Amino acid sequence: LGYTGRIVAFMKEPRLPYNRSLLSKAIVVQSEGISLRSPEVYHHLGVSVYLSTTVDHLNTTTQTLVSSDGASMSYDKLFIATGCEARRLPASIPGVTGTKGIFYLRNYSEASEIRSGLSNDVDLIIVGSSFLGMETAATCLPHVKSITIISMSAYPFQEIFGPAVGARLLQLYLDKGIVMKMNVQLDSVTSEPQTSALTGMLLTSGEFVSGGMAIICIGMTLNTELLVNTGVEMTPEGSVVADEYLATNIPNVFVGGDIACAPLHPYFNKTSIMTVYSVAMKHGRFAAASMLGMGEPVHTIPFITASLGEFIIEYVGYIKDVEQIEVVGNLEAMKFAAYYMDGDRVTGWY
């Protein structure tokens, strides 16, 4: 866009930005294969990158910030895209705290830890049956002895794809030999007394699921603690309110990605938080133009893929609060399409 001034980027992780959506599809790949840009690109553009560094304090009145290494800095324009963290199992569940072998999947380091723990003698437990849990199960299946999925829902993807498609995907995974424990909750976690190594999970149904490794895929929590008491307007759920230019209510502060409650494409007539990789990528481009005074109203269309072994499901659009889902084609043969209907309008499809 022609900007020639200084750009500073603080990044919590020890590596440059990468395609996070690939983590659950491949569990672990070479970092070069998922990196968005090489180090040389950042150097060529004159971007000062601070890895393994967060912003710990923000003063929107003086337009200054303090990083985790103690450095103070002023800004002319600020873009905040702090994203999410994997939601943890509640510490109130007996046995969770201190048990070894419970993993979460949100970053490259966590993916590497998971991959190093997979082996043909491992009974793997996955908690959660939405995108992350189902993709992770499909990816791990060839590398472990067995997989059991534990879910509070009656069907996989139930809140997204509805009961008809959910029931078909349930059968698909059962046919793969994956054990599906649906409509249950986790009661407690068991471990070896001497080593604290995971041995299994007790369900509220009374069933015991044996396993030496567990991957928890129960959603995300927003990284917006930095913005508390800064004057930046937030929703009750903790996302950041943004206008059509991704500007917040505070001058010179912009927001994007998972934490932004921002307008979608005008077709949907919706303002919503969308924790979708395709939306986050578009936000960066729109926000950059807005910060330089060349902004256009944001018009993102959510798009996501779910890799379920030999099948891939792609969905496009806004699928929250729909009145009905119409499925056409051969669901049994996994050759179908589904349309999300809001009255007589299609708001999404897959």
For strands 311-317 and 345-349, give the pairing. Answer: antiparallel
Predicted confidence (pLDDT) per residue in 33-64, tens digit: 788 999 999 999 999 999 999 999 999 999 99
Q: What confidence tier does 29 reach under pLDDT thresholds 50, 70, 90?
A: low
Predicted confidence (pLDDT) per residue in 67-121, tens digit: 999 999 999 999 999 999 999 999 999 999 999 999 999 999 999 999 999 999 9
CB of 237 closer than 8 Å to CB of 230: no
Tell me how far apart the alpha carbons of residues 152 and 89 are, in angstroms, rounded to a whole number. 13
pLDDT value at residue 31: 56
At residue 34, the 3 state secondary structure works out as: helix
Query: Does the domain spanning 7-85+222-291 belong to CATH 3.50.50.60?
Result: yes
First to last CA, the chain: 34
Query: Does the domain spanning 88-218 belong to CATH 3.50.50.60?
Result: yes
Q: What percent of the chain has pLDDT over 90?
A: 88
- The tokens 């070894």 sit on which residue? 100
Beta bridge partners of 10: 50
pLDDT value at residue 302: 94
Instruction: State whether the Cα torsion 145-151-153-154 is positive or negative.
Output: positive
How many other CB atoms sit within 10 Å of the CB of residue 70?
A: 7
- The tokens 């369900």 sit on which residue? 203
CA distances (Å), origin 211, targets 100, 167, 183, 247, 322? 12, 25, 19, 47, 38
Q: Do domains 7-85+222-291 and 88-218 have the same CATH topology?
A: yes
Predicted confidence (pLDDT) per residue in 204-221, tens digit: 999 999 999 999 999 999
Q: What confidence tier does 344 reach under pLDDT thresholds 50, 70, 90?
A: confident
Beta bridge partners of 188: 202
3-class secondary structure for 228-295?
Answer: CCCCCCECCCCCEECCCCCECCCCCEEECHHHEEEECCCCCCCEEECCCHHHHHHHHHHHHHHHCCCC
